Structure 1
Amino acid sequence: MDESNINWILAIACLLAGIGLGALGYHLLNAGAHGIQRLRQRLAERDRELAALRDGLDVHFDEVGRLVDALRRDGEALATRLAEDADSLGGHTRSRPGLAVEAPAAPADATSNAPVSTPRDYADGSGGTLSEDFGLKDDASRKPEPRY
């Protein structure tokens, strides 16, 4: 073979290797760009879904508010009707319409200004039922141990 043919063969092999490496690099870089594009598309779809859910939630809360108002009006109408029926049947009249139960009168003890002690879950060391030596026989030689 001639030396000029080897140079041409080497040049063509290098050209083909360069084209192959360039195609591989483009494919790898383009795959990352395509993945980013897919992520952006999914993000846009999720944003649209979130906006639709928010709109639906606003409509739901408006409807619930209207239903609560209607329920309150119906309750007031029912209380008024019950008060009128009670009056027509000779029942006791109330100062205001409604079905509220009056609170019982406070006991006489509650009006005193004496401080109420807080209940405790421990003994104060004076021999109460929660003390450590409760129920044991008294020993003159036994001294109470200090409590820590």
Structure 2
Amino acid sequence: MEESNINWVLAIACLLAGVGIGALGYRLLDAGAGNVQRLRQRLAERDRQLAELRDGLGEHLERVGALTEALNRDGQALHREMAEASATLGATPPRKPDLTPSAPPDTGDGEDSPAAPRDYADGNRGTLSEDFGLKPGEASTPQPPRY
């Protein structure tokens, strides 16, 4: 009888181990399914938000188009009103100011006014002369040529 008891105990232990392993596997697979369910729910929420944004963008673009048309109409109305006002006030176009002087302005005695800038030097002692910048005692002494 001892052998039959051992067989029954072994069968019950295997049955309990199988039930435990099955429950653990079900729990792990069910957790993955719950994660998939949460991901699907988040995806559906994002799709709904994206649809709302698209609808809002469409409404915004329609409103901007209407405002642009109104601005265009107002600009045309302003142009017509200005044309009518200029026709009512007179048909001559407005005068442009005359910017050319008819006579040279009186500068006084001429000594106080600054001289006009020139692109040349006075006489032969200008900046392009060979002894420009030399002191009077430093006459041109011949120097050996530089190579």
Same fold (TM over 0.5): yes
Q: Identity over the aligned pairs, expressed in percent?
A: 63
Q: Which has the higher contact order (CA 8 A, sep 6+)?
A: 1
Q: Could you tell me which residue of structure 2 aligns to residue 82 of structure 1?
A: 82
Q: Against the structure 1 CA distance between its residues 92 and 73, is the aligned structure 2 distance closer, same or farther, given a 3 Å change threshold?
A: farther
Calculate the aligned-residue CA RMSD, in Å. Answer: 2.1
- 1:119-130 aligned within 5 A: none
Read off the aligned partner of 2:25 and give its amino acid letter: G
Q: How many residues were matched structurally?
A: 97
Structure 2 stretches lacking a partner, 5+ long: 95-144
Q: Partners in 1 of 2:52 and 2:146 — Cα distance?
A: 84
Per mean C-alpha deviation after superposition, the further-off stretch among 49-58 and 82-91 is 82-91
Q: Could you tell me which residue of structure 1 aligns to residue 146 of structure 2?
A: 140
Q: Partners in 2 of 1:75 and 1:13 — Cα distance?
A: 92
1:92 deviates by 4.3
1:3 deviates by 2.7
Q: Partners in 2 of 1:35 and 1:44 — Cα distance?
A: 14
Deviations 1:9-35 (A, max 9, x none): 121111111100011111111211221
Q: Could you tell me which residue of structure 2 aligns to residue 56 of structure 1?
A: 56
Does 1:71 pair with 2:71? yes
Q: Partners in 1 of 2:56 and 2:11 — Cα distance?
A: 67
Does 1:25 pair with 2:28? no
TM-score, structure 1 as length reference: 0.58
Q: Mark the structure with the bigger radius of gyration.
A: 2
Structure 1 stretches lacking a partner, 5+ long: 95-138, 142-148
TM-score, structure 2 as length reference: 0.59
Read off the aligned partner of 2:53 and give its amino acid letter: L
